[in-house]
Amino acid sequence: MDDPGIFNQKSLSLWLKDGLSGSIPELTQDIACDVCIVGAGITGITTAYRLHEAGLKAVLIDKQEPVHLASGNTTAKFTFQHDLIYSRIIKNDGLDKAKLYYQAQMDGLNYVRSLIERHGIPCDFKETSSVIYAKTQKQLDDLLVEKSAYEQLNIPHEIIGDIPMGIVGTGGLKVPGQFELNPVKYLNFFISILQKDGMPIFQNTAAKTVEEEGDLVKVLTQNGHTITCNHLVIATAYPFFEGGGMYFTRLEASRSYLTTFPITQAADDEYMMISSGEDTYSLRFSDTDGVKYLLVGGQGHKVGQADSEIDSYNRLILFARSHFEVDEPAFRWSAQDYKSLDSIPYIGRLTAKHHHIFTATGFNKWGMSNGSFAALLMTDLIRGKESKYEELFSPSRGEVKENIGSFLKANLDVAKEFIKGKTAPEEMTLEDIKNDEGGIIKLDGKRVAAYRDKSGELFLSDSTCTHLGCELEYNNAERSFDCPCHGSRFNYDGKVIEGPAMVDLKRAER
């Protein structure tokens, strides 16, 4: 396929094209509060709002601008239809737990609806039905098992033979009453009203580590300040502080891609859809600022483990062009999310011994409902209320024992990537790196992460991940260096973007 030119531009989501409104300061002094929330995506912002509603004095910080990671780069489908989760939970954990998972998602979704209605939030809210569609007979058989799970859980649904949007397949499982919106418009609203109500919100304020002193928690920031609080909420997607919770052995980082096309043909925009199975295509529409857009996403893979990230985008563009009358994508972007061992998020106390530190992660690319629900659960726990959901989502639920196969597979994969990175010979040299290209090269016998910008300036960094020492891979679509072990990513100049790594790459010298 011809390069449509979109890869010459930086990755930018449709939602973030206008940025956030209003200005957000950086923390410049030590402060104290009831609850410090670290991470301003949907989880952190919704939790901040919920705690504020409950009358607690909260502070929200983010290492960059709020909403710039997964929550500003999501597809933003608000649905309880999470792949084939219900049959999986019934099989592994029983019907009662599947019921609780469903109720949790409904609580999250109903909370979002109620907030939008109460405040009249202008966020391009649209009611839709959600459809998982099957491409093969085997996938349809699996969908029928999921249908039977819906029956046991009294989830309203319908099996459909004709898949909307003219997609060819073997059938679909449809649920009504879901919705979609513009996540940046939605979350920006809460930032504005919380600021107006006097809640301190700080950007460019990265939490570095945590110290506990009796019942107090101290969050030490990278810019040298301390936030002293009674409770800490870690809403950083991958927890920036693990507290011995071994999250790196229990979370798998997966990246996915999105392309967006202006579309004028009549479209089945009352649906949001996702294909079943590994080779995922996810579809929705959005009316944004007077333009109708088709969004085609998917093609996920473990972070740092794709042969070419540009090819992932190209498959989405090909899919869009072969099903719709569309031409060039107006926007393209990618993002990542984390999956727990049993596909149920980790929401609650960071570990059994941390009574004042909470986290929410492992949303498996379903964080719109899960992140909203997490705000409700964590607020209840912080206020000392009992919750029927605590055990199911507890990060200390002991899921490793029951999922030992997935645990070993994930950690063997890490070991394999670690060894592969140390032994694979580099074929590229400095001369192979053209302007606006990068790669892992061999320089003076050593592996080096190299990128040359559009003007020819060269950036050389150590190619070893600062988390636990795996070797990085070049991401040719985002011009970043990504770690195949636990999903850390570094900018072309070696600065940490996301994931468990906290320290930038060292500069490499020629």
Ligand X SMILES: Cc1cc2nc3c(=O)[nH]c(=O)nc-3n(C[C@H](O)[C@H](O)[C@H](O)COP(=O)(O)OP(=O)(O)OC[C@H]3O[C@@H](n4cnc5c(N)ncnc54)[C@H](O)[C@@H]3O)c2cc1C
According to CB under 6 A, which residues from 452 to 481 bind ligand X? none
Amino acid at 6: I
Cβ nearer to ligand FES, comparing 108 with 499: 499
Distance set, CA 480 to CA 19, 122, 237 (Å): 22, 34, 19
Which single residue is written with the structure tokens 């929330």?
37
Site map 358..397 versus ligand X, x via CB under 6 A: -----x-xxxxx-x--------------------------
Instruction: Give the integer Cα–Cα distance in Å for 215 and 194.
Output: 27
467 binds, among ligand FES, ligand X, none (CB under 5 to 8 A by kind): ligand FES
500 binds ligand FES (CB under 6 A): yes
Cβ nearer to ligand FES, comparing 6 with 468: 468
Residue closest to 168 by CA, chosen among 134, 217, 205, 204: 134
The answer to whether residues 365 and 44 touch, using CB atoms and an 8 Å cutoff, is: no
Local structure of 127: helix, strand or coil: strand
Give Cβ neighbours of residue 392 (< 8 Å, ≥ 6 apart).
Answer: 97, 100, 101, 104, 344
Smallest distance from the beta carbon of 216 to ligand X, in angstroms?
Answer: 19
Instruction: Give the integer Cα–Cα distance in Å for 263 and 293.
Output: 6
Tokens of 222: 């990278």
470 binds ligand FES (CB under 6 A): yes
486 binds ligand FES (CB under 6 A): yes
Cβ nearer to ligand FES, comparing 125 with 418: 418
Cα angle, residue 304 at apex, residues 301 and 309 outer, rounded to 5° = 65
339 binds ligand X (CB under 6 A): no
Q: How many residues does the chain have?
A: 510
468 binds ligand FES (CB under 6 A): yes
User: What is the longest distance spanned by two Cα atoms in the chain?
Assistant: 65
Smallest distance from the beta carbon of 73 to ligand X, in angstroms?
Answer: 6
Which single residue is written with the structure tokens 């200005």?
23
Cβ nearer to ligand X, comparing 62 with 269: 62
According to CB under 6 A, which residues from 265 to 304 bind ligand X? 297
Q: Can you tell me which of 11, 13, 74, 406 binds ligand X, judged by CB under 6 A?
A: 74
Distance set, CA 65 to CA 41, 49, 204, 372, 400 (Å): 10, 18, 7, 20, 35
DSSP 15-44: TTTT--SS------S-EEEEEEEE--SHHH
Listed in order, strand segments (DSSP E) in 305-434 are 331-339, 346-349, 357-361
Smallest distance from the beta carbon of 204 to ligand FES, in angstroms?
Answer: 23
335 binds ligand X (CB under 6 A): yes
Q: Can you tell me which of 64, 110, 228, 387 binds ligand X, judged by CB under 6 A?
A: 64
Q: Can you tell me which of 27, 33, 62, 403 binds ligand X, judged by CB under 6 A?
A: 62
40 binds, among ligand FES, ligand X, none (CB under 5 to 8 A by kind): ligand X
236 binds ligand X (CB under 6 A): yes
Instruction: Give the integer Cα–Cα distance in Å for 378 and 388.
Output: 12
Tokens of 410: 């994930």
Cβ nearer to ligand FES, comparing 263 with 470: 470
Amino acid at 371: G
172 binds ligand FES (CB under 6 A): no
Smallest distance from the beta carbon of 380 to ligand X, in angstroms?
Answer: 18
Tokens of 186: 């939605």
- Helices first, then strands: H and E counts in the chain: 10, 24
Smallest distance from the beta carbon of 440 to ligand X, in angstroms?
Answer: 24
Cβ nearer to ligand X, comparing 238 with 433: 238
501 binds, among ligand X, ligand FES, none (CB under 5 to 8 A by kind): ligand FES
Q: Can you tell me which of 467, 480, 492, 498 binds ligand FES, judged by CB under 6 A?
A: 467
31 binds ligand FES (CB under 6 A): no
Cβ nearer to ligand X, comparing 346 with 481: 346
207 binds ligand FES (CB under 6 A): no
Instruction: Give the integer Cα–Cα distance in Å for 155 and 142.
Output: 17
State residue 179 phi and psi, 5-degree precision. Answer: -155, 165
Smallest distance from the beta carbon of 429 to ligand X, in angstroms?
Answer: 34
480 binds ligand FES (CB under 6 A): no
237 binds ligand X (CB under 6 A): yes
According to CB under 6 A, which residues from 210 to 229 bind ligand X? none
Instruction: Give the integer Cα–Cα distance in Å for 486 and 470.
Output: 9
Q: Where on the chain is the footprint of ligand X (CB under 6 A)?
A: 38-44, 61-64, 68-71, 74-77, 206-207, 235-237, 240, 256, 258, 297, 335-337, 363, 365-369, 371
Q: Where on the chain is the footprint of ligand FES (CB under 6 A)?
A: 465, 467-470, 483, 485-488, 499-501
